Homo-oligomer: A and B are copies of this chain.
Amino acid sequence: MTPAVTRAYYEDLAVGDAASSAESFEVLRDEIVAFAQRWDPQPFHLDEAAARDSIFGGLTASAAHVFAIQCRLAVSVEPRVALLAGLGNDGLELLLPTRPGDRLRLTRRILEKRESKTKPDRGIVQIEHELINQRGEIVCRAVGRVMIARRPG
């Protein structure tokens, strides 16, 4: 509502539009462990020795941690979007492990959009997100749904 800030509304997102995060996110060993201690205490997220014996052969970030990184980078792609709510996702695939020292960036593409049937001030947008590491490999692909305000007036 502040006139000086240009907001991005439902009308500003076009199906097919793609964008990438300007910044990348560095995945830190200590944060992998701290996140897992609180949220996903599996040995292969917590302990180097257990992780060496796992199918990954080393420490990896929790799925919840990877999703959190995706959310953070999504905000950096679209800091001005008039987001009303996240609604969840229509699938999230962990394609490769995320490891200490990885640098992730995010690309997103608008898949679909529709106006709300009941509320004229908002619409639902379906967005594909890909997290890409420093080698150009896609480590996570997800299709999310968000509710975005329509342009007022």
A101 contacts the other chain (CB 8 A): no
**Closest residue to A36 on the B side, CB-wise?**
B71
CB pair A75 B42 closer than 8 Å: yes
Q: How many residues of A contact B (CB 8 A)?
A: 34
A94 surroundings in chain B (CB, below 8 A) = 85-88
CB pair B68 A39 closer than 8 Å: yes
CB pair B42 A72 closer than 8 Å: no
A127–B142 CA distance with the chains assembled, in angstroms = 18
Copies of this chain, complex-wide, total: 2
> What are 24 sample pairs from A and B whose C-beta atoms fall under 8 A apart?
A35-B68, A38-B68, A39-B69, A39-B71, A39-B72, A40-B72, A42-B75, A42-B83, A54-B84, A55-B85, A62-B86, A63-B88, A64-B68, A64-B71, A67-B67, A68-B68, A87-B93, A87-B94, A88-B91, A88-B92, A88-B93, A89-B92, A91-B91, A92-B92
A residues with CB within 8 A of B:
35, 38-42, 54-56, 62-64, 67-72, 75, 83-94, 140, 142, 147
**Known contacts A38-B68, A63-B86, A88-B91; can you find 16 more A-B pairs with CB under 8 A?**
A39-B69, A39-B71, A39-B72, A40-B68, A40-B71, A41-B72, A42-B83, A56-B85, A63-B71, A85-B94, A87-B94, A88-B93, A88-B140, A89-B89, A89-B91, A91-B91
